[in-house]
């Protein structure tokens, strides 16, 4: 067996970034930039007001207070988007000009007073607060200068990133493609939800869980292949999956039972084994291999265990990082944080245990974590209640309350 870190390293070493494509703004969410985005003009592109208010000369209202307002003559209004020759405008002493949020600020205006501190009466404005030079004015180039790279290759496109792309006038971007994924589900005992169970049968949750997990990453090109526990059916399912997908994920049939046919089926299809079995719990009998096509493309094959918790945990720890790398993301290893145990935990030495946990922030600022009930690999109740995975070290057997333990967030989307 190899360690968790060795296995993850081998997986990421084999994962290759996908080819690129150009997509329009409405299609970009969830993709990763394959080229940098450059601002071709200053941001903001002109001096504009950050508030609704009144443009003034600073010296004119230096003595303005709530108890003693300063009276200025009102000299017009500037609205956002209104085209005017404001470069030639000159604000006369003892006058003010109304300026709305986002509107151009004329060069002769030194500051903008918020409307809340002003009152209009009979063509004049009464101001009750002094301001400093430049106050409430967004200066041209104050955020970004023309020619600046504002988004680097490898940036994942979320709503804020998408908005920034639109702000610099781009209606499209070059991104990495998302991989096609096949799910191969094996097992004579599996029945689709909604059906009737016979003795010894269980409802299939793994195909739905894996498809949902892929959906959390925005992967929508997914196809499910099912096989009974025979070598012929298992081989056919994998052959069809390899023809369709860039990544193949199977559940079940990967251990050492008499009817576990995943490994021999893959060997017969010229899938090269990278590793089999990892010193982790849950998920010891994980298989990982690669398949080289005649055109040089490399396909990744993950054989995950059949127990539903093992499937999701090993997907989260190995498959998801590989998919994120293939989609062009740079940082794909989950960061570790630290919390104190609310109560003692125990296990046998020998394997790194991804114990499911629930975080709790104390009023004093301390972060505590509790191992949830239902830690066995078939107990989805425990996984559904968890928001993190505790990294209970392989050599440890006991950890007492208040001991510090590393954990990672259980995040299906990132």
Whole-structure pTM value: 0.91
What pLDDT, in 10s, does the model give residues 34-54?
999 999 999 999 999 999 999
What's residue 189's pLDDT? 82
Tell which phi-psi region holds residue 127, choosing left (phi > 0), alpha (psi between -120 and 50) or beta. Answer: beta
User: Which residue intervals of 249-387 are DSSP H helices?
Assistant: 262-268, 308-314, 320-326, 380-385
Could you count the other beta carbons within 10 Å of the beta carbon of residue 64? 22
* 286 half-sphere exposure, CB direction, 13 A CA radius: 31
What pLDDT, in 10s, does the model give residues 127-137?
999 999 999 99
Q: d(Cα 302, Cα 95) in Å, to the nearest integer?
A: 73
No. of H helices and E strands in the chain?
Answer: 8, 28
What's residue 198's pLDDT? 84
Q: Which residues of 134-156 are buried (b: 16+ CB within 10 A; e: fewer)?
A: ebbbbebbeebeeeeebbebebb
Pull the structure tokens for residue 247: 């990544």
What's residue 84's pLDDT? 65
232: CB partners within 8 A, 6+ apart: none
Low-confidence ranges of the chain (pLDDT < 50): none
Q: d(Cα 198, Cα 102) in Å, to the nearest integer?
A: 68
């Amino acid at each position: 067996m190899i360690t968790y870190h060795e296995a993850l390293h081998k997986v990421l070493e084999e994962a290759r970034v996908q080819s690129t494509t150009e997509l329009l703004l409405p299609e970009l969410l969830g993709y990763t930039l394959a080229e940098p985005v450059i601002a071709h003009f200053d941001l903001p592109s002109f001096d504009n007001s950050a508030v609704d208010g009144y443009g003034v000369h600073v010296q004119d209202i230096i003595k303005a207070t709530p108890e003693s307002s300063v009276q200025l003559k009102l000299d017009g209004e500037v609205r956002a988007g209104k085209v005017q020759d404001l470069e030639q405008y000159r604000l006369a002493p003892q006058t003010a000009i109304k300026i709305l949020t986002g509107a151009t600020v004329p060069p002769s205006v030194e500051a903008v007073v918020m409307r809340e501190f002003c009152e209009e009466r009979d063509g004049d404005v009464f101001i009750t607060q002094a301001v400093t030079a430049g106050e409430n004015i967004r200066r041209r180039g104050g955020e970004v200068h023309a020619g600046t790279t504002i988004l680097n290759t490898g940036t994942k496109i979320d709503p804020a990133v998408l908005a920034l792309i639109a702000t610099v006038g781009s209606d499209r971007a070059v991104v990495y493609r998302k991989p096609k994924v096949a799910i191969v589900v094996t097992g004579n005992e599996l029945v689709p939800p909604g059906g009737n169970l016979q003795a010894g049968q269980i409802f299939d949750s793994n195909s739905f869980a894996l498809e949902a997990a892929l959906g959390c990453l925005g992967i929508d090109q997914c196809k499910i292949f099912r096989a009974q526990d025979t070598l012929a059916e298992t081989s056919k399912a994998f052959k069809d999956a390899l023809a369709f997908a860039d990544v193949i994920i199977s559940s079940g049939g990967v251990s050492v039972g008499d009817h576990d046919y995943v490994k021999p089926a893959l060997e017969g299809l010229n899938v090269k084994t990278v590793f089999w079995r990892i010193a982790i719990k849950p998920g010891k009998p994980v298989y990982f291999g690669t398949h080289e096509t005649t055109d040089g493309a490399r396909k990744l094959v993950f054989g995950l265990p059949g127990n539903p918790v093992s499937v999701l945990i090993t997907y989260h720890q190995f498959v998801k990082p590989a998919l994120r790398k293939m989609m062009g993301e740079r940082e794909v290893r989950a960061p570790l944080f630290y919390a104190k145990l609310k109560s003692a935990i125990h296990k046998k030495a020998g394997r790194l245990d991804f114990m499911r946990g629930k975080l709790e922030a104390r009023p004093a600022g301390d972060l505590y974590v509790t191992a949830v009930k239902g830690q066995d690999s078939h107990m989805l109740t425990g996984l559904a209640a968890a928001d993190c995975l505790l990294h209970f070290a392989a050599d440890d057997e006991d950890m007492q309350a208040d001991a510090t333990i590393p954990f990672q967030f259980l995040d299906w989307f990132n």
